[in-house]
Amino acid sequence: MHRSSRRTWARGPRMLLEVEDLNVYYGAIHALQGVSFSVDQGEIVTLIGANGAGKSTTLRTISGLLRPRRGAVRFRGEEITMTPAEQIVRLGIGQVPEGRRIFAPLTVRENLEMGAFTRKDPAEIAQSMERVFATARGLMSRPTLLLLDEPSMGLSPIMVEEIFRIIAEINLQGTSILLVEQNALMALQIAHRAYVLETGRIVLQGTAKELRESSKVKEAYLGLPKEALAAEGEAAVSPD
Ligand code: ATP
């Protein structure tokens, strides 16, 4: 860590990742349209949003797999917008991409199978195994910040609970986490703060509690019917 980075810490020593005005295109498709957010040290921050909102694109841009046409990514105050992906991993940003399939050595697998000895359903155990391998692989670089893309995708409710328990545990051990999820309900239960992404723009942000209580989030992402929300009243939207 060199001294010149002190200047860039102006916005607070706790800021780990800062994404500013990201604009990313796939050809003519303007997938990210000025996305800005931050992750502080020790936080779980979740980025929620529907299919196609731009969540994976955001993660791929942070990890250096995509280049923005405009905007910046800063990690610990240093700009990494154009840094090669493998260098970004070395700086301390690990990623578990969406739906990763991994072939692991048998000895590790056998160990994990022993951990599942109380469980009966082979398909569920296999699913668990796959996710544990993927998550563990992301942790092998000892990241300061872990980027997780839809870890709950395609899992049964029990498995979703389990994977979220693991994520919270990883965070308690000191790893900051940027969690991309369609399962807003679960993500907002473990996150400290959250951002809602809609068609390439951040449309809402706040503490996880504020977003859990927002009627817009309840209606659009937590699957609660309008009538139930009307019964609760609008007071819940207030940030305090
Ligand atoms: P999902 O949950 O389905 O992965 P997402 O929020 O992660 O959704 P992105 O995958 O980031 O969304 O996609 C954002 C937009 O960019 C969508 O309109 C999508 O169709 C488009 N897009 C994504 N990848 C490509 C690509 N390789 N080529 C062209 N368009 C793409």
Q: Would residue 198 count as lying in a domain?
A: yes
Q: Would residue 6 count as lying in a domain?
A: no
Q: Which of 56, 179, 195 to mutate to test the pocket of ligand 1 (most atoms within 8 A of CB)?
A: 56
> pLDDT value at position 211?
95
Q: How many domains is the chain partitioned into structurally? A: 1
Q: Is the CB of 31 under 6 A from ligand 1?
A: yes
Beta strands, E only, the chain: 15-26, 29-40, 44-48, 70-75, 78-79, 93-96, 145-149, 176-181, 193-198, 201-207
Q: Would residue 7 count as lying in a domain?
A: no
**CATH number of the domain bearing residue 177:** 3.40.50.300
pTM metric for this prediction: 0.81
Residue 132 has pLDDT above 70, yes or no: yes
> pLDDT value at position 104?
45
Ligand 1 atom 26: the closest Cα is on which residue? Answer: 26
Of residues 221 and 17, which shows the higher confidence score? 17
Please state which of the ranges 18-27, 38-47, 151-160, 187-196 shows the lowest mean pLDDT: 151-160
Ligand 1 atom 1: the closest Cα is on which residue? Answer: 51
pLDDT digits (tens, 9 = 90+) for 167-179: 998 999 889 999 9
Boundaries of domain holding 143: 16-237
Q: Would residue 2 count as lying in a domain?
A: no
Q: Would residue 10 count as lying in a domain?
A: no
Q: Parallel, antiparallel, or unpaired: how do β-strands 193-198 and 44-48 relate? A: parallel
Atom of ligand 1 nearest to the CA of 27: 29
Please state, in angstroms and rounded to a whole number, the distance separating the CA atoms of residues 148 and 130.
14
pLDDT digits (tens, 9 = 90+) for 65-111: 999 999 999 999 999 999 999 899 889 998 887 755 444 444 566 66
